[in-house]
Amino acid sequence: MAFCKPLRQFPAIEPYLTFLSRGFGAVASVAAVFSLIAQPAMAQSIPLIRDTEMERVLKGYEDPLLKAAGLDPQAVHIYIVQDPNLNAFVAEGQNVFVNTGLFMHTNTPNEVIGVLAHETGHMKAGHLTRDTQAMHKAMIPMLISMAVGMAAMAAGAGEAGMGAMMYGQQLAQAQFDQFSRVQEATADQIGQSLLLKTHQSGQGMLDLFSRMANQDAMSAAYGQQFMTDHPADRERIANLQDRVDSSPYKDVKDSPEALHEFRMIQAKLAGYLYDPELVLEHYPATDTSEPARYARVMAYFRKPDLKRALAEADSLIAEEPNNPYFQEVLGQIYVEMSQPQKGIAPYQKSVDLLPDAPLLRISLAAAQLATENPTLAQPALQNLKIALQQEDDNAFGWYEEAEAYSRMNNEPMADLSTAERYYADGAMQPAAVFAMRAEVKLPKGSPDWQRATDIVSVAGPQGRQNQNQ
């Protein structure tokens, strides 16, 4: 799970996700160091990545804001989207989606926190529910114009019909944009209130929006429409300026530790997302800073030049032996070098340092199983059970648990774990098949038998429904 590995695709949230996305929209490059790798458009899913370090940093930013807003941090899920655009949005209730581009196009932790405060403002105000109502209302004139336009076209007035249809679409968009601007201003103000309550500066939000407003003025030069449905206009900037100036925490700066943590995340993402040669050019071997070495670990890993990656990782661990993420990197390098036995110790160290991090435990278990040492199947299984209690929707964890049970010749439980894997991935038909296989073999009435029965009862009908669609 190191190196921000792509994990899975998040299923489409709403048919009109792009239209409703709360946040900052697609942004032209803002002080970008590298050219980011373009991601293919995905109409049916969102490409997610998993990384313990980045997830914990984001949670550290977001949780104080949620508490200040009266929201339960345990009920809010943060997802990292592999997308180079500066963007964040909330969807389907309390799900926060943060693009990797948010880190790469901001200058300080306070700017990222300002974005999250804005998004938390949307959740606090219940804007997602109102969005659905506004969308339905905005679609009425569009549907009417479509009916009129189609009738006109059927009567032979093709140009008039097309004009009517386009007018309806423009009217619907304008109506929704007006509604959206009001929501954006409200989220700004709530976000500033949350920053005030948490004794943080609102300057980061203001600085970012100001840069976006300046970029908007030059958007034609970039050939892009900038901030289409969330424009950072001058009135919005002026209102933010008033709130920031009135805060007693206006001049509170990010601590040196927070800035270093932020630079490390940027370096890690750069090494993972950008062309390795560009990374090595920007972070040359003469730069011995921790962020530079961290970026080079990722770049060498991806080339792949695993010996150099190992050397850089060793140099980082020599300075910070108790950094769990450096230990994770070292373990991953050894596994990729087909030396999983050597990867176990650093992975175990990372788990000892962060025992409540399920991704680290799953990586440790995967290394233990990769050795093909039968005596390590039971320890691997124990690590997987702990991790899956903490995160029961991790399909890769269930895959590894099935492998552990197979090594121990426990096929009923291997089948149940495989059913859990497919269930976590939303593949209901195979989930039902493997759950039925487990159900037949497991002791009737046992907790595992009951779980298999539950999966069959839920996944079976859904799988048949999906097959018929």
Integer Cα distance of 164 and 154 in angstroms: 13
- Under 8 Å CB-to-CB from 349, ≥6 apart: which residues? 324, 327
Cβ 412 vs Cβ 438: under 8 Å: yes
Mean pLDDT score of the chain? 82
- Looking up residue 66, the CATH number of its domain turns out to be 3.30.2010.10
Q: Is residue 183 part of a domain?
A: yes
Banded model confidence at residue 469, pLDDT cuts 50, 70, 90: low
- Higher pLDDT among residues 17 and 70, named by residue: 70
**Domain count for the chain:** 1
Banded model confidence at residue 13, pLDDT cuts 50, 70, 90: very low
Which pair of structure tokens corresponds to residue 412?
A: 């009923």
- One DSSP character per residue, 345-390 reads HHHHHHHHH-TT-HHHHHHHHHHHHHTT-GGGHHHHHHHHHHHHHH
Range of weakest confidence among 128-132, 161-165, 221-225: 221-225
Single-letter residue type at 133: Q
Query: What sign results for the dihedral spanned by CA atoms 173, 178, 179, 184?
Result: positive
Provide the β-strand partners of residue 6: 49
Cβ 103 vs Cβ 85: under 8 Å: no
**Which of 37, 67, 69 is CA-nearest to residue 189?**
69
Q: Is residue 92 part of a domain?
A: yes
Q: Is residue 367 part of a domain?
A: no
Q: How much is the pLDDT for 234?
A: 77
Range of weakest confidence among 75-89, 346-360, 365-379, 452-466: 452-466
Q: How much is the pLDDT for 365?
A: 98
Pairing of strands 6-11, 45-49: antiparallel
For the cut 90, the answer to whether the pLDDT of residue 276 exceeds it is: yes
Q: Is residue 233 part of a domain?
A: yes
Integer Cα distance of 438 and 446 in angstroms: 12
Residue 167 to residues 146, 179, 225, 230, 355, Cα–Cα distance (Å): 9, 18, 20, 22, 58
Q: Is residue 142 part of a domain?
A: no
Range of weakest confidence among 15-24, 141-150, 308-317: 15-24
Integer Cα distance of 420 and 401 in angstroms: 10
Integer Cα distance of 267 and 291 in angstroms: 5
Cβ 44 vs Cβ 17: under 8 Å: no
Q: How much is the pLDDT for 91?
A: 84
- Higher pLDDT among residues 96 and 7, named by residue: 96
- One DSSP character per residue, 160-218 reads HHHHHHHHHHHHHHHHHHHHHHHHHHHHHHHHHHHHHHTT--SHHHHHHHHHHHHHHHT
Q: How much is the pLDDT for 294?
A: 98
Q: Is residue 312 part of a domain?
A: no
Cβ 70 vs Cβ 346: under 8 Å: no
Cβ 71 vs Cβ 90: under 8 Å: no
pLDDT digits (tens, 9 = 90+) for 219-255: 443 333 334 434 556 788 899 999 999 999 999 999 9
Q: Is residue 371 part of a domain?
A: no
Q: Is residue 7 part of a domain?
A: yes
* Segments forming the whole domain that contains residue 227: 1-131+177-254
- Under 8 Å CB-to-CB from 435, ≥6 apart: which residues? 415, 416, 419, 423, 452, 453, 455, 456, 459
